[in-house]
Chains A and B, each alone.
Chain A
């Protein structure tokens, strides 16, 4: 099987920015608060060519940090990310244009003082995909592909609605002719009716252009709709990974199961109100994560083992992996349901 993107044992720490004085002081042995947050810790997985991988989890679980490392925007503290066997970054600098990113907020990701056509043309001109004289036509073609009128290239971002801006952001990413697209919550800020338009555009483009995609979202129904496989993150770790239908249909990790039950479902069948299965408590602070399995304080299946040892991610079947001491019990619960 062709492993296109390989993520090997990647971690990312965010520590306090020490001043020069503090740095010297630590070197000399003084105690300075250097507590750091492990936003992503020891993540290993791979993505196949042409596949869409969904990355889900609650705020602070590290999904955006992982996404930025996959996009080559943020260097990992340890571990490597490779595309086709070659590293994405060298000495902290992105060395490929084959990965492009679409961000959540199309209001913040477009320069308000540049015409949108110029914004989209900037990258392709810099990397020789088009020339200054050809740029207009080149950008126009990408505008048409994402459902915008090519003449709108002369307008400024504030003249567009949220949905249109997200189309511009997609055009900008695609005009670089990438192989991989990293999408960080691209539909989260859009209205439902516009969200459907962007999801449809996204489905069509990934298929037409044979893109490999990582789709980061907190919205499980969107991820379920467009992904081939899904990775569920909790406090910086991937707790479960596998084909969407299997993971959502029969979660092997208690967190996946509870997360899925927490999502409000559209009640269509009965005039009675649904029962919520809620996860107790809140996500612990990543500054002082619990011992053992990070999920144990909230987990209905937790035992003594879970307090002591951290489960490593292991295969459940050919395609699935889970990090849980009691995944067999969890799978049994679902069978008996």
Chain B
């Protein structure tokens, strides 16, 4: 791979609660190249959102990054002060959240909010700032942008609000955007429009993206590579189509098989037994072991990540790999 713009190594974020230590993110590593879109998938509580927050240094007490490194354009972010981080957030790395109602200020017009975001990092004349804001609104598919800048968030539909949030994230042409389930709350027809636009924007602007989602189908049509999270770790990663067609980790395989679209109508779906474990009382060894059909006594110890070609997996019994005996 060419020089990655974002390089995450062994990132661990723990929450020190009264009930014990919650290892929300536990040794996550990945690289992201310019303009690349990576899908970060997993179920609720798998640590995908906390991973996103950790990249921007947005983890609040009782949480803390306890280990690992996040390098953005060669700069280590985890050791920066809050003041230094603020100069980078929004300019080099920005985030889009699931709920655009919560991210936009209801008391300010869209134009005022975009102006504030511009002023945070650049000195622009009023006119130039207005032009930049209008240009970005147009780019994310908001018609008559100059007029819409004077509107308040409540005058926009859910889909349009999310477009505004995306436009704000793009204002400074950041190197990386972390998008946390930005289309989950939207209707499918609007979701399709936004996915389509995001893909084009990443290609045109060279902005790399981490697309956090629980929906395999959404990321499969958007991302060029995937990382699957379970209980705070990346259990499998690789090029999207390759990984989905030929999953190595039993959890990934189970997720794909449980989708209604992969089964014959009316037949029972393949189900993963049990539920995701509480991160407070993780059993030693592989966290997926209690739900796994392939588990053996070996799984009582924690598997390291196996890297092969462009694929990676954390499992002692990867699917379809047993025939190949390593020499």
State whether A273 and B222 are in contact (beta carbons under 8 Å apart), knowing that A265-B217, A268-B245, A278-B193 are contacts in the complex.
Answer: yes
Chain A residues near B261 (CB-CB < 8 A): 221, 224-225, 265-266
- Tell me the bound Cα distance from A230 to B215 in angstroms: 23
A264:B189 contact, CB within 8 angstroms? no
Contact with B along A163-201 (1 / 0, CB 8 A): 100000000000000000000000000011111110110
Choose from A59, A161, A220, A278 the contact partner of B196 (Cβ within 8 Å): A278
User: How many chain A residues touch the partner (CB < 8 A)?
Assistant: 47
B189:A192 contact, CB within 8 angstroms? no
A218:B188 contact, CB within 8 angstroms? yes
Choose from A197, A271, A273, A283 the contact partner of B187 (Cβ within 8 Å): A283
Choose from B189, B217, B260, B276 the contact partner of A222 (Cβ within 8 Å): B260
Choose from A161, A218, A279 the contact partner of B192 (Cβ within 8 Å): A279
B189:A278 contact, CB within 8 angstroms? yes
Closest B residue to A187 using CB positions: B260
- Tell me the bound Cα distance from A203 to B268 in angstroms: 7
Chain A residues near B224 (CB-CB < 8 A): 273
Chain A residues near B157 (CB-CB < 8 A): 282
Chain B residues near A59 (CB-CB < 8 A): 187
Give me the interface of A with B, judged by CB distance under 8 Å: 58-59, 161, 163, 191-197, 199-200, 203-204, 218-222, 224-226, 244-245, 258-259, 261-274, 276-279, 282-283
State whether A282 and B159 are in contact (beta carbons under 8 Å apart), knowing that A199-B269, A273-B221 are contacts in the complex.
Answer: yes
Let me know if B102 is at the binding interface, CB within 8 A: no
Let me know if B107 is at the binding interface, CB within 8 A: no
* Shortest Cβ distance from residue B122 to the other chain A in the assembled complex, whole angstroms: 32
- Tell me the bound Cα distance from A269 to B241 in angstroms: 7
Give me the interface of B with A, judged by CB distance under 8 Å: 43-44, 157, 159-160, 187-193, 195-196, 199, 214-218, 220-222, 224, 239-242, 244-245, 254-256, 258-263, 265-266, 268-272, 275-276
B215:A262 contact, CB within 8 angstroms? no
- Tell me the bound Cα distance from A283 to B256 in angstroms: 32
Chain B residues near A191 (CB-CB < 8 A): 43-44, 214, 276
- Tell me the bound Cα distance from A220 to B260 in angstroms: 10
Choose from B190, B191, B242, B260 the contact partner of A264 (Cβ within 8 Å): B191
Chain B residues near A270 (CB-CB < 8 A): 241
- Tell me the bound Cα distance from A272 to B224 in angstroms: 9
Chain A residues near B160 (CB-CB < 8 A): 282
A221:B189 contact, CB within 8 angstroms? no
State whether A199 and B260 are in contact (beta carbons under 8 Å apart), knowing that A225-B266, A276-B196 are contacts in the complex.
Answer: yes
State whether A264 and B215 are in contact (beta carbons under 8 Å apart), knowing that A196-B271, A258-B189 are contacts in the complex.
Answer: yes
Known: A199-B269, A266-B244, A279-B193. 20 other contacts (CB 8 A): A58-B188, A191-B214, A200-B271, A218-B187, A225-B266, A226-B265, A262-B188, A262-B191, A263-B192, A263-B217, A266-B259, A267-B220, A267-B240, A268-B241, A268-B244, A274-B221, A276-B192, A277-B192, A282-B157, A283-B187
- Tell me the bound Cα distance from A199 to B261 in angstroms: 13
A267:B241 contact, CB within 8 angstroms? yes
Chain B residues near A199 (CB-CB < 8 A): 260, 269
- Tell me the bound Cα distance from A196 to B272 in angstroms: 8
How many A-B contacts at CB < 8 Å in the complex? 139
State whether A244 and B217 are in contact (beta carbons under 8 Å apart), knowing that A259-B189, A276-B196 are contacts in the complex.
Answer: no
- Tell me the bound Cα distance from A259 to B39 in angstroms: 24
The 8 closest A-B pairs by CB, nearest first: A196-B258, A225-B260, A262-B192, A191-B43, A58-B187, A264-B217, A193-B272, A221-B261
- Tell me the bound Cα distance from A179 to B150 in angstroms: 54
Choose from A244, A274, A277 the contact partner of B265 (Cβ within 8 Å): A244
B265:A225 contact, CB within 8 angstroms? yes
Chain A residues near B262 (CB-CB < 8 A): 266
* Shortest Cβ distance from residue A35 to the other chain B in the assembled complex, whole angstroms: 18
Choose from B244, B254, B256, B259 the contact partner of A221 (Cβ within 8 Å): B259
* Shortest Cβ distance from residue A13 to the other chain B in the assembled complex, whole angstroms: 22
Closest A residue to B268 using CB positions: A200
B275:A194 contact, CB within 8 angstroms? yes
Chain A residues near B220 (CB-CB < 8 A): 264-268
B195:A221 contact, CB within 8 angstroms? no
Chain A residues near B254 (CB-CB < 8 A): 193
Most chain A C-beta atoms within 10 Å of own C-beta, residue among B239, B242, B266: B266
Closest A residue to B143 using CB positions: A281
Closest B residue to A258 using CB positions: B189
Closest B residue to A271 using CB positions: B241
* Shortest Cβ distance from residue B259 to the other chain A in the assembled complex, whole angstroms: 7
Chain A residues near B221 (CB-CB < 8 A): 264-265, 267, 273-274, 276
State whether A197 and B259 are in contact (beta carbons under 8 Å apart), knowing that A203-B266, A264-B191, A265-B221 are contacts in the complex.
Answer: no
Chain B residues near A261 (CB-CB < 8 A): 192
- Tell me the bound Cα distance from A3 to B217 in angstroms: 37
- Tell me the bound Cα distance from A264 to B214 in angstroms: 13
* Shortest Cβ distance from residue B179 to the other chain A in the assembled complex, whole angstroms: 15
- Tell me the bound Cα distance from A225 to B241 in angstroms: 23
A282:B190 contact, CB within 8 angstroms? yes
B189:A193 contact, CB within 8 angstroms? no
A163:B275 contact, CB within 8 angstroms? yes
- Tell me the bound Cα distance from A282 to B245 in angstroms: 34
Q: List 30 A-B contacts (CB under 8 A).
A: A192-B214, A192-B255, A193-B254, A193-B258, A193-B271, A194-B43, A196-B258, A196-B271, A197-B271, A203-B268, A221-B261, A225-B263, A225-B265, A264-B192, A264-B195, A264-B215, A265-B217, A265-B220, A265-B221, A266-B261, A268-B241, A271-B242, A276-B195, A276-B196, A277-B192, A278-B192, A278-B196, A279-B189, A279-B193, A282-B160
